[in-house]
Every structure is written in C-alpha cells, then in structure tokens.
Chains A and B, each alone.
Chain A
Amino acid sequence: MSRFYRRGASDSDTDSSEDEVEELKVNKSAKFRDDLDFMAGPEEDEKRVVRAQKDKKFDELKSLIKQNRDAKSNKDLNKLLTGFDTLAKAYDKSKTIFQRQNVTTPRFYIRFLVEIEDYVNKLWEDKEAKAALSKNNTKALSPLRQKLKKYIKDHGLTDLVTDYRANPDEDGYETPEDENEDDDFEEVSDAKAEKSPGRQAERVADSESESDSDDDDSFNWSSEPDTNSSDDEESVTKMEQLRRYFLKKEFREESKDDKKDKRKRVIKVKEVVEEDDDDWTPVSREKSVVHFDPKEEVTHDVMIKKLNEVMSARGKRTTDRNQHVANLQKLLEVAEEKQLGLGISVKISFCIISALFELNAKISDYMEYETFMNTLRTVNTLLDLLITTDRVKLSVTYAEEDENLKDENEEYRIQGSILIAVQRLDGELAKILQNADCHSNDYIEKLKAEKDMCQLIEKAEKYVELRNHLGIFDKHEVCKVYMMRIEHTYYKYQDQNVGEIAKTMDYLCNKIYTLDDEKRLRQRAMLCHVYFLAVHDKWHRARDLLLMSHMQAIVDHSDVDTQILYNRTICQLGLCAFRHGFIREAHQGLSEIQNTQRAKELLAQAVGTRPHEKTAEQEKIDRSRQVPYHMHINVELMECVYLICSMLLEIPHMASCEFEMRRRMLSRSFHYQLKQSEKASLTGPPENTREHVVAASKAMLNGDWKKCKDYIVNEKMNQKVWNLFHNADQVKDMVVRRIQEESLRTYLLTYSTVYSTVSLKKLASLFDLSKKDVHSIISKMIIQEELSATLDEPTDCLIMHRVEPSRLQMLALNLSDKLQTLAENNEQILEPRTGRGGYQGPGSWFPGRNERQGDKQKGSGGFQGERRGGPGGPDGKRGNWGSQGGQQRRHPQKQRAF
C-alpha cells in the first residue's frame, strides 16, 4: 500500500491493521530491551537498570509520537485520534516511573502536545481545509480537539504548555531533550542511538526530495512483506546496541562519525550530477568503488572488473540508487575517455538505463518526469549509436558468458535488449500521464514527451528493420515494437495525409498479423486497426475487419486490457456508424456500453464509483489500467449520440405498439430518461444534452418534427455535440433528415386510426419531404406490415384500413397473446430445448456475445446478424484467415491455371 492511497479516502480496516503492525514492532523492540536488561544482569549497579527503564519509556513515547506525527502529516485525523489515545495511556503508565526518579514531564512530550493542539485548532478554524477533509477525518476532528483540551487540563499540564508556548523550540527542532539529557547523563543513552536512524531519514527527506523513496520505505516497510528491511533493521539495531553496550566509551565518537558520514553522502547524492569528481574526496564506500588507482592503467579487464563491482551493488537494500546511477555514469565517462571501445560503452550505457529504471523501488510508482526525460535521452543516444554501427550486437539470446566486450576484431556481443528498454520507457510514460492531473498545464507539458516517445519508437522500428536479418531479435520483441507504434497512432485523428498514415497503419498491422503467433497481440493490433479505421470514417472496412476477427466471440475470454480496448473500439465504431447515418448499427454498438450506466468505467476513463466493492489491491490495479486523458473518448458526446439513435429507433417503435401489452424496449436507458422527465412535476426548458434529446423525443412522439429538430440542432447542441464532429454539417443534415423520416413514420402510426385517407401531397408538405420519399417510406411500412393501409394511385392518397380495436377486442387479443405464452412456457418446461440448432438464415451468422465475465455487464449481440464469418462450426480456424483477409484482399489472386 503506498502513501498515496493512504492519504486518499482510506479504509479504516487497513489503517487499523497497520497500526497493529506498528504497535507490534514497538512491543518487539521493547521486549528486546528487556532482554538486554536481563543481560545486563544483577551485578550491574542499580542505577543503570533504573536509567534503562526510564529511557525505555522515553523510547516508547517517542516512537508513538513519531507515529502520530506521520499521521498528522498525512492528514489522517482518525489515526491521529487513536494514536493520541495510545500515547496518553502509555504516558500515564510511565508517569509513575518518572515520578519515582524525579523526572519532570519530558519537554518533547509537551512540545508534541502543543504541536498537535496547534494543528487541530488551525484545522478547526480553517473552514476550507476542513471541507477538504474526508468524511472520516471530519468526524474524528472534534473528539480529538475535546480530548486534547481535557487531557491537558486534567493532567495539570496547562502551566507547562503555556511555559512552552512562551519559550518554544524553533520549528523543525527535533530532540533537544536528547541533547540535554545526554548532557545530564554521562553515558550515551540508548534512546538517542535509537533515534538517530529515524532522524537521519527525516533529514534526508528535508534536504533531498529525490531520495524520497528512502523515507517512503521507512514507514512503509511494516506492510511490505517482500522487502526484508524490517528484519534487517531490527538485527542491525540489535547488533549495534550490543556493541554499544560493550564499547561504552568509544561509542559516542563513533556514532557522531557515522552520522557525519551519512550526512555527507546525502549531500553528495544531491550534488553528484553537477559536481566534478575532483571536488570531493572518496569518503563513502560506494564512491571508492569507482575510483581507479591512478597508477594502474585502465584496461578492458580492469574496467569490466570495476563494472562488475559496481553492478554487484545493484538491487541491494543498502545501495543508494541515485548513487548507483552516478557511479555508472562516471564509469562511462572514464571508459570513453580511455577509448575502451564501443562494446564497453554500450554495456555501461545499458547498465545505466537499467539503473535509471530501478530508481523507483516499486513498479506501481511512476517515474519522476525529469528522470524519465533523462532516461529517454540515454536510450535515444544508445539507439543512435546502435543504428550507426553494426559492430555491436545487442540481444537477449546471448548468455552472459558469451559476451564479447573487448575483442575489437570480432563484433561485440552484449546481452540485453534495447527494445525492451524502449518498451519499458513507454510504460513509464503511460504511468506518468496516468498520475498527472489531466486538467492542468502540467499534463500538457508532460504530454510533450509523448512526441519524443513516438520518435524514439519509430527509431527503434528503423533499428529493427535494419538489423532484423542478423537474427538478434526475439520475435516477440519485434512484435512489441510494432505494437507500440500502433498504440501510439491508432487513436489520433489525422486531417491531412490520411492516406500515408493509413498505409503505415496497414503496414504495421499486417506485420503483426504475420509475425505474431500468440493470439493476444494480433487481437490487439486488429482492434487498434478497427479503431483507427473507425476514427477515419472508413466504416465499411472497419466493420468488416471487426466482424471477420470474431472478436465478439472471444473477447470475453481475453484479458481486461484487451476488453477495455474492445469497448473503446466498439464505441468508436458506433460513433463512426452514426456519422455515416447507420443509426441501427450505431445504436447497437453504443448500447453495449451505454446501457450499463458505467460507461466511464468500462472504457477505463474513471475508476469505479463504488469503492467498497473492491479491495484496495483491485482498485490499484484498476488505476493502473486507466487510459491516459488524451486518449479518452468523449463520454458525453457518446451518450448524446446514443440517445439520439435511441430516439430515432424507439419513438416510431413506441408508436407502433401502442396497443400491445408487452412492449419490447430497444433501449433501457432511453426509457429511463423519458420516464424521469415524465415524473418531473414541472419541466423547464432543457439544459444539458440529455434533456435536449428527451424534449426532442417528446416532440417527435407528437409528430412535430420541426420542434424536434430545433431541440436537436441549435446553438447549445452545436457547441456540445455537433461541433465535435469533423464533418459537422454533414452529420447535422443527416440527423435532420432522419428526424423528418422518423417523425413521418411516427405520425402515420399514431394517427392511422383517426384518418381514413391521407393525401401524399399533404404529408410531403407537412414533413418537408419530397413526394417520392414519402411514397417510398410508406411503401416500406406497408410491405413490412407496420401499417395496414394501401395506396390509391389515381388520387395519390393513402387509404388506411386500420380500425381502433374496441376494448373487448383488445382484451381478447391480449388474452390470446397470453394464452400463447402460457402454452409456450409449458412446452418449454416439458421439453427444454437444448440450444438452438438448425438454419437461422444468413442473417444471424454470429453467436451473440455472451455475458461478460467479471465486472462487465451483459451486452447485446454486438453487430449481430450482419455478415460473414462462418458459424463457429467444426473448423474454429476461421479467425485465421479473417485476419489475413484484410491484407490479402487488396492483391489480386494468382490465376487459377491448370
């Protein structure tokens, strides 16, 4: 669990468990000190024991105080409250000891109380800060404040507090008590020794923001089972104490020395980038590693030895990662200075890159932007070098023993993969963007790196194509490079040069279709391809490709990332269909996502709103899957388009089955919106897009197409919806035209019982359509038996045959309907039909999508019943050629010659 999550709306569960762990630690160390006391044995003088007891209490209090401070700095009042309670109790217990020894209330305790009180009071008065607090924290605030007041009063500490306030320690002042105490007692107290590492850590944090991770670890370790730091630290302190115990006299100096040493190192770390190495003397152990003996000549072997020496420190807990990088950079400098050849340089550069990646202790943490740019530059330089020379072979297939770093006559062989480095860099960029605030300028700044990244990937691709014949690449690596480029291209809409980009995209995707033997990358590439085509209005190709890929059938079994990509693709395809006027298809595509109410979640554009359903772990994973902001699909636009599609389909449908009892809904969420607006006692003018569509729907239901049009196409909607299309006018015209047609249909269906004849001319003028169009619309309705009417050609009239059923007739109809259902149900119970075999007509060639696994909701049958692709049938291989179909289709087939 990282700090980040703890600060956010945290679960009280995990917090308390952490508390427990930390308390446990305290107990443990306390117990250890008991052991120590025991070791001290009875022959030691009384005084020592007493002193140890007192110090022990001090330690305990201090560690509790530290915990509370952490909680304070995390703004976790809940924790602070509980922490304070424990602290108060602990203090009460130790009070007797203090009294026995005539020790007054320790100054650090008072200082802490004052600190907390100030903090709480400040929070209490600062309305804004209070509002920013989470619910749990707000709850904890007032009891904490009261408790604090009462505690100070009850324990008669008021005087001391006021004393302290009159004469406060300076800010950030840590443990003057210790020093005082140290002066009081001749011997060094254990307490101080115990305190020093912690203090050290804090100083590091103060002086150096970059080495944040250390600090991070120091209070995170307890919840991290994999880093064995806790044991380490424990044993280190244990040993230290033992040692100190026996070496009382020298200890003080040494500890000071130690401290100095460490402090120096911290400073060094900070400055190391700019600093010339002449300026400083090798004080620390690590530094001396890089230092070459001036007399000795630097040869390959010496260099390699040194490198191995430096590299052996890699990954160790004690190694300062920044220092590690600096060391390597120094080595590289030396190597280039002495002209040890490309092999060594590449090897060291490669090590630097890995070291840079390892600056972060945890994978879930994102890289600092600066470090990222730094790494990017390093990788870029190395790649340039590799492109210019073909003497260096970098491959994962070499074993470490096979490496050739020094022999100039042969080509250099080095283990490693620059491609994987590029790939990792790409991942880091995604993480950086995920964690940046997407509405700030900062995000835009960081987004600039994306361009550099694209260039780097292109370079990598070039490199691959230059060197692919050498056989140094793993097939998978190569695929990944192409895939990366696809993933950086597919979502971008290009106004100019579409042909060129499309060609590149085709080329890249085809590469993957042919190279990749695992299904996953191929599926992803295909989805990206479809997405790309959809964005660029190649509706038919996009649709055909998607249908041929059979993704609907397999997506449920693929990983979540692919599912997200699938969802994105379907949405984009839906939007594309809408732009082309394929309302039904657009509706189908979008409803899969829109009907779930969790559109954002399914597109990975927001983390679920119901955090209690997920564990912290899951939430973290979810977060890591989020799509960076610049790739988002506009959800509001999508919703609006979906609702418009629903309106165009649903309103005539509603009109046609007015008398049927069982109405089949095409779109649940649209009906929901309609119902909501009906419920409202007073409907004002529409404000957001959703209300606009609902108002338009109502107008359409009344057959008023002009009003309907005005609701859909106006200034407000232009701004929010229509201007977001690149061919806005075309789309608007299409929508208006569809509104006219569907309004006419609705009108006819609704009023068919009222008229016995309608003149076509009249209809045409009413709906502003040509007579021909009216004729064809009506013909269609008659043929499809939606409208029971016939045309009278000589008079150009529509003759209605429909009579409104009387109540009795309607009931009879309903009854017969129900009886039929009853009979069907009975038959079903008696003989449950297993599957639906047999001929289903060429329409439904696709098995509908099954219910999504996990958190995905059930979707409607995709673009079901559209075309092509055999039934899942005996030869499940069909997907195979589907993928190649796209590529080979363009080339005319070779002649069938006998």
Chain B
Amino acid sequence: MSTFDLTQRMAPFLDMHLIIPLLEFIEPRGIYDEKSLTEMHRQLLSKTNMIDSVIETYNGKPIPEAVEAKKKQIIKERDELKNKVDSVVAILEIPEVKEMMDNNRERDGNVRILEHLTQNHNFTVDMVDTLFKYSKFMYECGNYTVASVCLYYYRNLVNQADPNYLNALYGKLASEILLQEWEHARDDLLKLRAYIDANPFDTEWELVTQRAWLMHWALFVYYNYPKGRDEIIEMFLNQQPYLNAIQVLAPHLLRYLAVAVVTSKSRQKNSLKDLVKVIDIERHSYKDPVTDFLTCLYIKYDFDEAQEMLQKCEEVLSNDFFLTAVLGDFRESARLLIFEMFCRIHQCITIEMLARRLNMSQEEAERWIVDLIRTYRIEGAKIDSKLGQVVMGVKSVSIHEQVMENTKRLTLRAQQIALQLEKGRQDKVKAN
C-alpha cells in the first residue's frame, strides 16, 4: 500500500508548511502506521512556530512544559517584531507609494522605489531587513496572509541580486499556495521560474536542484488550476532543462507528468510519444502503476497487463494528494487510449472482450463505444450488434495511392526551384 506513496520522496523538495497538507491528506487513509504518522506530524509542526497546532496534536493529553514555554517566547518575539515593523508598513501603505509599487516593473529594478522612500519618507535600509524577518516569522506562525503582503512589499523593494530575493520569491509562492490563491500563486510561480531560468547560481548542480524544487511546488498550483495540466506538460516535458532535472533528481515526478499527459485533451499524441520514451529510459530507476500502464500499452503491447495496471492506478490516484481530483478523468482517458490502440491493431473485436478489458459490463461497454465512435468519429468503426462485435473498416493503402502520394508535391517543388533559379538569374543581370 505504501509502496506507491510518494510523500516521503517528495518531502525533501518541499517546504515544511507545504508538507503539512500532504500529511493531513494521508492521515485518514491508513497507509502508514498511525502512531508514527502523528508523531511525525507533531515533530514537523514543532519545527515551525505554529504552536497552537502542536498543542492540538496532543488531543487533550497533558502538554509538555517546553511547548508552553516556547509559546510564550514566540508571542514575545512576535510583539517585538511587530513594534518594529509597524512603522515600516505605515510608510509602505501610503497610497502614493503603493501606487508606485503596483506600477513597478521588474526590469527597472527596484532601486527607484527604494531611493524615493529613503529621500521622502525617512526610510532606512535596515527597515527592509526587518520587513523580511517579520514576514518570515509570520509565515512560520502560519499567518500566511500577512506574510504574503509583506513579501509583496519586500520583493518590490529589494534588488534581484539580494541574497534573500530568491527566498522571498519562494516564501511568497508558498504563502499563496497555502492561501489557495491559485491565480496569484501562478503569477509567483512564473516569476520564480523566470528568475531560476536566468541562472543566477554558481553551479549547474544548484540550478538543477532549484528546478526540481520549483517543479514540486508547481504541482500544487497546476493541479488546482483549470488549465494547469497543459502547463505541466509544457514545463515538465517540453522544456529540456526541466526534463533533465526530473531524470536526474526526481523521477517520481513522472507520475504527475504521465497523468497530465493522459488526461490532457489537446496535443496528446506527440507528448505521449515523448513521455513514453522518457518513461522507458527511466524504467530502471522509477516505476509505478501509472508509468507501467503506459509501458504496457506502448512498449510491451500487453493489453492484459495494461488492464491490471489501470486497476492499480485507480488505487494509487485516489491516495495521491494531487491526483485524487483527476481520477475520473484519468480513467476515461486511459480507456480511450486502450480502445484506440485496439482499433489500430484489430480488424474485429468482440464487445465482450472489450468490456472485460475496459472493466465494464457488456452493455455499458456497448454504450460507451457508441459514444466514443460518435464523439471522436473513429473512422470506419461499426458495431455488429448481432455478433456482438466491433468491426473496423480496413484502410490499406494501395500502391497506386502510394505513388500518388509520393509524387503529389513534386511539381510544386520543381516549380519553386525553377522560380528561385529565375530570380537568381535576374538578380545577377541587375547587378551587372
């Protein structure tokens, strides 16, 4: 049961606050031992400042003193920071400044605003640091709204070369994710990606690691965003550097990529080809029912096993934080893929066999096929209801047609060449 759970493999790439929802998701599923999971959860929380949540996990049991002490200390610290930061926020919330920030463009750099503030509003550079510390603190406390606002200010004040700039970007993204503000999160994600792609890092290795992190965080956004799945394909599969990062560091992301490709409505064909290639290459280092399903279907051509895998996939998907939502979609698309494959290979299939393969009753299958043929206009497929068969129209290409096909464009090409030659000749004449 736990073999296909990815929480443990994903954790190293995520922020602690991002892991919490994952843990909360798997807790009721009984995949792991409950006790150790609660303990884990508590440990994780105690590393943050969300002391109230820690207290909650004790569930009425006596609370250790250390926790109480920590709570007091945190509250004290918060007050101190708050006092300091209030003045800063006051300056930043002046409408004129706010407007400036909203109209700010990345490319101008943030120097202008900072200059303006120091000249007109008594702003000091120390204040920027205070702002960052405060937002970090608030984030740790679980007050993501404040953190996100503060980081928004911070990001507009600080130069890109600042060591904390990247952290601020990550922090902002995390806050938005945890606030479930997907639109904003998406913008932040794009910003972060642009920053990483500009490669401000010292080593290639770090760049790859950053990309791996980014992709993990992106899962939150893209699986909750209407067109997110297409964007996953675009980013994970079609961007070579990101695909490399997956292969080197995080092959388990192939599952999410695979689901995205299978359920994607547009551009499925090419991406499927590429994906299968990658899955095949990485088969030795990562496989799960989702990737195995594609392997069986497109590499081994073993439909029985594909069927088995499809069943396992349901289980895996329903236990995956990101993928539960797309389970139905995935099932539909996977069936369609199987059927398509059948149509290409077979001339005649019994509906009974199909129903078995697709995990449906015979009648259901027949209806489903009818729908399929109607919606996707599968060429030449007809149902012979008397024999209970689906018959494909044979479409073999005769040699006659082949020759036609081959020679079709020749005339045009020849004409083009002739035109070009003519043009070249005239140019020469003119030049002389």
Contacts and interface: CB of A to CB of B under 8 A. Distances in A.
Interface of A: 540, 772, 775-780, 782-783, 788, 790-794, 799, 801-803, 805, 809, 812-813, 816-817, 819-820, 823, 826-827, 830-831, 841-843, 845, 866-871, 875, 877-878, 880-881, 884-885, 888-889, 892-898
Given A791-B347, A812-B403, 9 more contacts: A783-B345, A799-B347, A823-B414, A831-B420, A842-B274, A878-B204, A889-B248, A894-B12, A898-B136
B416 to A, nearest CB: 8
Query: Among the interface residues A778, A816, A880, A892, which one has the most CB atoms of the partner chain B within 10 A?
Result: A816
Looking at chain B's contact residues, the main secondary structure is helix
B347 A792 contact: yes
A881 B205 contact: yes
Given A842-B278, A867-B281, A889-B248, A791 B14 contact: no
Query: Among the interface residues A794, A801, A827, which one has the most CB atoms of the partner chain B within 10 A?
Result: A794
Interface in B378-431: 387, 389, 392, 394, 396-397, 399-400, 402-403, 406-407, 410, 413-414, 417, 420-421
A816 B403 contact: yes
A772 B296 CA distance: 13
Contacts of A779: 301, 341, 345
A868 B277 CA distance: 12
20 contacts: A776-B302, A778-B345, A782-B344, A788-B397, A791-B345, A791-B346, A793-B353, A794-B350, A816-B402, A823-B414, A842-B278, A871-B240, A880-B203, A881-B207, A888-B205, A889-B249, A895-B12, A895-B16, A897-B16, A898-B17
A841 B347 contact: no
Interface string B279-318: 0010011000000000000001110100000000000000
Contacts of B209: 893
Interface string B126-138: 0000000000100
Nearest to A773: B302
B208 interface: yes
Interface stretch (B103-111, B117-125, B167-175, B223-231): B167-175
Interface of B: 11-17, 136, 139, 167, 170-171, 174, 199, 203-205, 207-209, 212-213, 216, 237, 240-241, 243-244, 247-249, 274, 277-278, 281, 284-285, 300-302, 304, 341, 344-350, 353, 387, 389, 392, 394, 396-397, 399-400, 402-403, 406-407, 410, 413-414, 417, 420-421
A793 B348 contact: yes
A458 B348 CA distance: 70
Nearest to A879: B204
Nearest to A816: B406
Contacts of A801: 394, 396
Given A776-B301, A792-B348, A870-B244, A841 B407 contact: no
Contacts of A867: 247, 278, 281
Given A823-B413, A892-B12, A881 B301 contact: no
Of all A-B residue pairs in the complex, the 10 with the closest CB atoms, nearest first, are A881-B204, A779-B301, A790-B347, A816-B406, A801-B396, A776-B301, A898-B171, A896-B213, A881-B205, A809-B399
B350 A881 contact: no
B117 to A, nearest CB: 25
Given A793-B350, A893-B212, A868 B399 contact: no
Contacts of B402: 813, 816
Given A875-B199, A885-B205, A896-B14, A809 B400 contact: yes
A812 B345 contact: no
Contact of B248 (A813, A820, A885, A898): A885
B410 A823 contact: yes
Contact of A868 (B199, B203, B248, B400): B248
Contacts of A845: 240
A758 B248 CA distance: 46
B346 A842 contact: no
Nearest to B244: A868
A893 B300 CA distance: 34
Contacts of A788: 396-397
A751 B43 CA distance: 69
A661 to B, nearest CB: 13
A893 B13 contact: yes
B298 to A, nearest CB: 8
Contacts of B213: 896
Contacts of B16: 895, 897
A353 B165 CA distance: 60
A775 B302 CA distance: 8
A186 to B, nearest CB: 90
A782 B392 CA distance: 15
Contact of A794 (B14, B207, B278, B389): B389
Nearest to B283: A540
Contact of A792 (B171, B278, B300, B346): B346
A880 B247 contact: no
A322 B392 CA distance: 93
Query: Among the interface residues A790, A819, A831, A845, which one has the most CB atoms of the partner chain B within 10 A?
Result: A790
B346 A790 contact: yes
B300 A776 contact: yes
A517 B399 CA distance: 62
A884 B301 contact: no
Contacts of A895: 11-12, 14-16
B346 A898 contact: no
Contact of A897 (B15, B300, B345): B15
Contact of B170 (A540, A812, A893, A898): A898
B345 A820 contact: no
Query: Among the interface residues A776, A880, A894, A896, which one has the most CB atoms of the partner chain B within 10 A?
Result: A896
Given A792-B348, A823-B410, A889-B248, A843 B277 contact: yes
